[in-house]
Structure 1
Amino acid sequence: MIDIVQQTTTPLAKPIDNDGNLYDLLENRASRTPDEQIIRYRDKNGEWQGFTGTQFLELAHSLAKGLIAKGFKPGDSICILASTSWRWTAMDFAITSIGCVVVPIYQTDSAAQIKRICNDSTVLCAFAGDDRLRDSLESVRDECPSMKDVYLLDDNTLTALKELGQNVPDSEFDVRRKAVGRDTVATIVYTSGSTGASKGVELSHGNFLFTVYSGFQFMPEFTLGEDQAMWLFLPLAHVFARYMQFICIGGTVQLGLGDNFKTIIKDFQEFKPTLILAVPRVFEKVYNAASQKAGTGFKGRMFNRAAVTARDWSRAQQAGTKLPLGERIRYAFYKKTVYSKIIDVFGGRAERAISGGAAIAPDLSHFFNGIGMPLLEGYGSTETTAPSSVSPFHHYKIGTIGTPLSGMTYAINRPVEGYQYGELLIKSPSVCLGYHNRPELTAETIEDGWLHTGDLATLDDEGFATLKGRMKDIIITAGGKNVVPSDLEASVMKSEVVDQCLVIGDGKPFISALVTLDLDGVNDWLQTQGGEPLKNLEEASKNAAVRAEVERVVNQANAQVSRAESIRKFEILPDTWNVENGMLTASLKTRRGVITKNYSKLIDTVIYAPRKK
């Protein structure tokens, strides 16, 4: 039920016409910058290669004609199961340009998930990034009646498609392209399912185009600025990565594409992006690595003082004040000697970063803001075609998710019984068409044009939104206290020894937490403490020094909340939570229900053990 108590809209600077084809973005870019490299990547030998605007347009055009020659009709679904690469992007433009539908699948999805997605979306053909992924598709092919072909997404396949397309006249491509409009489905993206079974979200060309053009108006310094570059390493199966692909190519940004998280720092340093897009864990690891490198001697003390000064500067800036003269002098000194070296880790040109996918600890945000690279938090979902808000580049508030993008409206629904906050509602042309084959769920989720996000939030007087947690995740203790687990979890995960943290306590007498460890982080930390490395997580979970470090960050987290909201007990687990064992979603969010069920015996008999009579 819609019962709005607050509402804010970011006005458009000029009207947006989103009745078109995603191919328009590439064609317009090629006409503006035909000879500039718009895409760069590393080849198999690690050497840098690229495509000019003209080259990439010709590639997408020839692949699209190849698909027409193969007999694909408007509305046909084609699956891509591959890592982020220029081939993925080229096929994306080719498939959607002729009215076909891209169905992306995460590389980490199980055979059962692949089968369900392919059958639900009636996939006719699939492209796999390598032999292993092709085998995954082939293993379910007999159980997917509609899937006729599985191809490797490699140079041989692309060459064969281009050759087939030579027999298709340009006029036939033009007819197919022009038949695509605002309401044509471009993709069906299956959500990662942190709150239940995955569902296919139908996104149209108009959805994407509105969000891209809105982004042009909201952050023109980046999207339409000179000499801008972004390194994209997030999986293109995720809608936010797809959106960034489109806005970079549609704007003036050089897009770097890669898939190796292990070489991300080297890639940053050589590609030299002006905007960093990453999840909070990347920034946590950079901070922890800088702290480790400084050590415990003079350099370590200097780094710690520099970190405190950076946070002090940030808090003063956010409050609209200045540091005292002595601290300003120290800040200027640290900017040259400490902060610049950290920014160099990201290539030296990054002026700001966008962090998404999970809550980020305020201390970490203040640190990076203080060193000169603000971490701007945003918000979005598959249903909103990726971002619907982000902190404005020149007026940002740490701890918020910013203001709605241009032409988008946020509203707060009246809080329901048992909740302190109201649900965030969104109205925008970027809101999805609905859920594939799920009309009842669509009607429940999109009501009178308003998208029910399932997230609790507040709005301030300037239209900045602050998330208060998911309605399904908010913990209501036995005493009736509402607790936002994400804030506590982000704070605990600041420690380099911690990999994941899940706060629990719904219906229980107090709040507690399950903690998993990062073995590499543990051993790096132990080295600075003069300790010996540990062989496995079993040893680490029982180590007294490690437990003391976890207890330290738990106490820090507790200092930010009331006693009723604080973590009273925690258990360090000798386990890893990942996508493969079902504990994390494909976008690396904890699956709260799965985890609590898996550890139900521990929770009930150890953490909340009944009192002995």
Structure 2
Amino acid sequence: MRDVALAPAAPPPLTGGLADSLFDTAARNPTLPMLARRESASAAVWQEVTAVEVRDQVSDLARGLIAVGITPGERVAIMARTRYEWTVLSHALWAVGAEVVPVYPTSSREQVEWILRDSGCAAVIVEDEQSVMTVGSVCAALPALRHVWQLDAGALHELAVRGEAVPPAAVDSMRRLVLPDATAVVAYTSGTSGRPLGCALSHRGLAGVCDTLLAGWGHTAAAPGEQGAVLAFLPFSHVYGLMIQGLCIRGGVLMAHEPEITEEALISALRTFRPTYFYAVPSLLEKIYKNFLRAAQQSGRGGLFERAADTARDFAAATERQRLTGGAGPGFDLRLQHALYERTVYRRLRAALGGRVRRATCGGSTLSRELSLFYEGIGIYVHDGYGLTETSGGVTMQPLGREKSGTVGQPLPGTEVRVADDGEILLRGPSVFQGYVGDEAATRATLRDGWLATGDLGQLDDEGYLTITGRKKDVIVTSSGKSVAPAALEQRLRMHPLVHQAVLVGDNRPCVGALITLDPDFLVHWRAALALPGDAPMREAREENALREEVARAVAAANSTVSRAESIRVFRILPRPFDVAGGLLTPSMKLRRDEIVRTYAAEIDAMYEARSRRPQRTLPDETAGWDDADNVFFR
């Protein structure tokens, strides 16, 4: 058992509910810009909404909720994308003591029914008519559900009108009755295996994470004397998104909402809103890097970009050694090269994020050290943190001035981290959840003697930095008894611009295999750049051979980081990416591994059977030791 990594005391405890900070800010600094919104997705101008204006909207809506009979402790679901109304509505619900149940708008009919029934929601606010129909189709199984409101049909205005007869003082009276340990949110787990579980998160737990991060790192959100600005686009249906909302509201950071997580929508929002701080997940940071590379190659500057990227990583690694060990840092030649690329490459890359981003935070899963060094080298340090739904958000962060890429930092003040003998990460602290709603057995299995068993595997170094190595339930055990944690190899594979997703398989098989999907955008670019001569059938055959060889090189590069027994010996390229609609990704974009293995069982069997049938032969150096069957392309 690796001993506990202790941290200093936490900030002063919460004395009320989550809505209080909004009302307090409005009283103290009424003209402070708090939210920003625009009339349409194509609009270049964002209109700022002050703290007192947001408070008045929240108060009016809270009066409406009182008028229709929403009482303290009742649960109300919000099934909508990340939009302005989500923030106003959630704070109105908290102001009257109600509990928010976030539901992904992309959830299936079965998922919606389960969450609304399991949580016993009294009302649900949906975004559009399609969601109304989804909820309507399961209403017969939801006896507690009394109200279904539609945002796009003017539901919030109607509620505000209903509340005109309720005195504003009623809201203040109800808000003062909300206790810190009351449940604020029932957030459902991603459901990668089995039914999602509802995590009861208190006002104290959700606020405590935000207040701790603001106390230690809040000043890094913007340049001195400048108000921080954050573009919220990650789902508020996930605890990571809720944490971002809390950080902005509690920290006086201007927040804008972007409901569309498409490349075009994000580019437009980033360039017009120009945030000072960026929150993301690894897949998005990987995608941005690949877009940089693709754009450079299309303009004939691919070689320049790759040299600049290598210099950025080398410069960041040397800077890291300097801050951690007191070394000399980047040498003269490296500083000169970095300064040259700063003028010609790096500032243009930062401009793609709006030009004002100084730092970023990555969550949801771990970020590769290679990618972390790249972003630091171009001038945007990415804090890779760690947290779970059960911890109300983040529980680790990179210490300022002692950041270490490839880790998720050190425990936040007030949080304790322990690594058990089997490698499982155990946590204890004020942000740990209250338990799973209606499932005492699952709660007892997860909370053991005050410690939260995360199900994640990791390592603590001598300085208390935590490294995540995978999930216990994801570990592959081959027929020879070799245990392989797939996360690191999958991460390495995704660094290749052609690889979009990778899932390792191999339980009770002779070796580790991989199911690989390709990045659709980069694949189009790669095919165009290949420009093979000949008639169509011949060109297509040669193209597929070249593609298999390119993916084989990506696999070989990933294998170079592990032993032969842990390496990928067979792989198959799948015809389409895993997605939420097909049931192979959760709404928070996590792989549903068991479902992927079931869906592609025939392809997995064929992959291993082909390997056992074909003789080995000698291949080029970069794929040395591979069988013909390793290069299987599934059309």
* 2:436 match: 435
CA deviation after TM superposition for structure 1 residue 294, in Å: 2.0
Instruction: Name the CA distance, whole Å, in 2 between partners of 1:326 and 1:527.
Output: 36
Question: TM-score scaled by structure 2?
Answer: 0.90
Out of 302, 310, 313, the position equivalent to 2:312 is 310
Q: Deviations over 1:334-355 (max 9, x none)?
A: 1111111101110111111112
Q: Secondary structure at the match of 2:469?
A: strand
Q: Secondary structure at the match of 1:43?
A: coil
* 2:230 match: 230
CA deviation after TM superposition for structure 1 residue 520, in Å: 2.1
Instruction: Name the CA distance, whole Å, in 2 between partners of 1:612 and 1:80.
Output: 54
AA in 1 matched with 2:471: R
Counting only pairs closer than 5 Å after superposition, residues 52-71 of structure 1 correspond to structure 2 as 52-71=50-69
1:359 maps onto 2:366 in alignment:
yes
* 1:530 match: 531
Whether the 8 Å contact between 1:118 and 1:144 is mirrored in structure 2 is: yes
CA deviation after TM superposition for structure 1 residue 597, in Å: 1.6
Whether the 8 Å contact between 2:570 and 2:607 is mirrored in structure 1 is: no
Spell out structure 1 runs of 4+ moving beyond 4 A.
539-542, 608-613
Instruction: Name the CA distance, whole Å, in 1 between partners of 2:558 and 2:366.
Output: 14
Q: Deviations over 1:223-279 (max 9, x none)?
A: 697421111101111111011101111102111111112210221111111111112
Whether the 8 Å contact between 2:490 and 2:504 is mirrored in structure 1 is: yes
AA in 2 matched with 1:147: L
1:7 maps onto 2:22 in alignment:
no
CA deviation after TM superposition for structure 1 residue 174, in Å: 2.4
Instruction: Name the CA distance, whole Å, in 2 between partners of 1:372 and 1:313.
Output: 11
Worse-matched range after superposition: 244-253 or 216-225: 216-225
Instruction: Name the CA distance, whole Å, in 1 between partners of 2:579 and 2:234.
Output: 16
Instruction: Name the CA distance, whole Å, in 2 between partners of 1:393 and 1:274.
Output: 17
Instruction: Name the CA distance, whole Å, in 2 between partners of 1:204 and 1:155.
Output: 31
Instruction: Name the CA distance, whole Å, in 2 between partners of 1:558 and 1:28.
Output: 55
CA deviation after TM superposition for structure 1 residue 540, in Å: 11
AA in 2 matched with 1:28: D
* 2:415 match: 408
CA deviation after TM superposition for structure 1 residue 548, in Å: 2.2
Counting only pairs closer than 5 Å after superposition, residues 340-359 of structure 1 correspond to structure 2 as 340-359=347-366
Out of 113, 116, 119, the position equivalent to 2:117 is 119
Instruction: Name the CA distance, whole Å, in 2 between partners of 1:91 and 1:85.
Output: 10
Instruction: Name the CA distance, whole Å, in 2 between partners of 1:612 and 1:340.
Output: 53
Q: Secondary structure at the match of 1:577?
A: coil
CA deviation after TM superposition for structure 1 residue 508, in Å: 2.3
Cα RMSD for the two superposed structures: 2.2
Instruction: Name the CA distance, whole Å, in 1 between partners of 2:12 and 2:153.
Output: 38
Whether the 8 Å contact between 2:191 and 2:197 is mirrored in structure 1 is: yes
Q: Secondary structure at the match of 1:219?
A: helix
Counting only pairs closer than 5 Å after superposition, residues 237-276 of structure 1 correspond to structure 2 as 237-262=237-262, 263-276=265-278
Cα 1:11/1:164, change in 2 over 3 Å: same
Instruction: Name the CA distance, whole Å, in 2 between partners of 1:609 and 1:393.
Output: 52
Q: Deviations over 1:114-143 (max 9, x none)?
A: 011111111111111111111111111122
* 2:619 match: none
Q: Deviations over 1:37-70 (max 9, x none)?
A: 2111222363322311000011111111110011
Whether the 8 Å contact between 1:10 and 1:406 is mirrored in structure 2 is: yes
* 2:302 match: 300
Instruction: Name the CA distance, whole Å, in 1 between partners of 2:37 and 2:488.
Output: 36
Q: Secondary structure at the match of 1:295?
A: helix
Out of 376, 395, 408, the position equivalent to 2:402 is 395
Counting only pairs closer than 5 Å after superposition, residues 7-46 of structure 1 correspond to structure 2 as 7-12=4-9, 15-44=11-40, 46=42
AA in 2 matched with 1:112: E
Q: Deviations over 1:444-491 (max 9, x none)?
A: 111222111001111112211001111111223333333221111111
CA deviation after TM superposition for structure 1 residue 155, in Å: 6.9
* 1:495 match: 496
Worse-matched range after superposition: 379-388 or 502-511: 502-511
Instruction: Name the CA distance, whole Å, in 1 between partners of 2:512 and 2:41.
Output: 51
Whether the 8 Å contact between 1:36 and 1:52 is mirrored in structure 2 is: yes
AA in 2 matched with 1:382: T
Q: Secondary structure at the match of 1:17?
A: coil
Out of 120, 130, 135, the position equivalent to 2:128 is 130
Instruction: Name the CA distance, whole Å, in 2 between partners of 1:577 and 1:494.
Output: 17
1:371 maps onto 2:367 in alignment:
no
Whether the 8 Å contact between 1:522 and 1:546 is mirrored in structure 2 is: no
Instruction: Name the CA distance, whole Å, in 1 between partners of 2:495 and 2:11.
Output: 43
Worse-matched range after superposition: 196-205 or 388-397: 388-397
Q: Deviations over 1:405-432 (max 9, x none)?
A: 12111111222xxxxxx21111111001
Whether the 8 Å contact between 2:20 and 2:175 is mirrored in structure 1 is: no
CA deviation after TM superposition for structure 1 residue 171, in Å: 3.1
Q: Secondary structure at the match of 1:202?
A: strand
* 1:142 match: 140
CA deviation after TM superposition for structure 1 residue 542, in Å: 8.1
Counting only pairs closer than 5 Å after superposition, residues 550-589 of structure 1 correspond to structure 2 as 550-589=551-590
Whether the 8 Å contact between 1:522 and 1:540 is mirrored in structure 2 is: no
Whether the 8 Å contact between 1:519 and 1:540 is mirrored in structure 2 is: no
Instruction: Name the CA distance, whole Å, in 1 between partners of 2:406 and 2:333.
Output: 28
* 2:169 match: 171
Q: Secondary structure at the match of 2:501?
A: strand
AA in 1 matched with 2:350: I
* 1:518 match: 519
Instruction: Name the CA distance, whole Å, in 1 between partners of 2:39 and 2:177.
Output: 36
CA deviation after TM superposition for structure 1 residue 570, in Å: 0.5
Unpaired segments ≥5 residues, structure 2: 615-635
Counting only pairs closer than 5 Å after superposition, residues 398-477 of structure 1 correspond to structure 2 as 398-415=405-422, 422-477=423-478
Q: Deviations over 1:142-183 (max 9, x none)?
A: 221111221111472222211222211233222221221122
* 1:199 match: 197
Instruction: Name the CA distance, whole Å, in 2 between partners of 1:285 and 1:596.
Output: 25
Unpaired segments ≥5 residues, structure 1: 416-421
Q: Deviations over 1:514-562 (max 9, x none)?
A: 0112222200222233359xx9xxx899822222221121111111111
Cα 1:172/1:517, change in 2 over 3 Å: same
Whether the 8 Å contact between 2:584 and 2:596 is mirrored in structure 1 is: yes
Question: TM-score scaled by structure 1?
Answer: 0.93
Whether the 8 Å contact between 1:311 and 1:370 is mirrored in structure 2 is: yes
AA in 1 matched with 2:364: G
Whether the 8 Å contact between 2:187 and 2:200 is mirrored in structure 1 is: yes
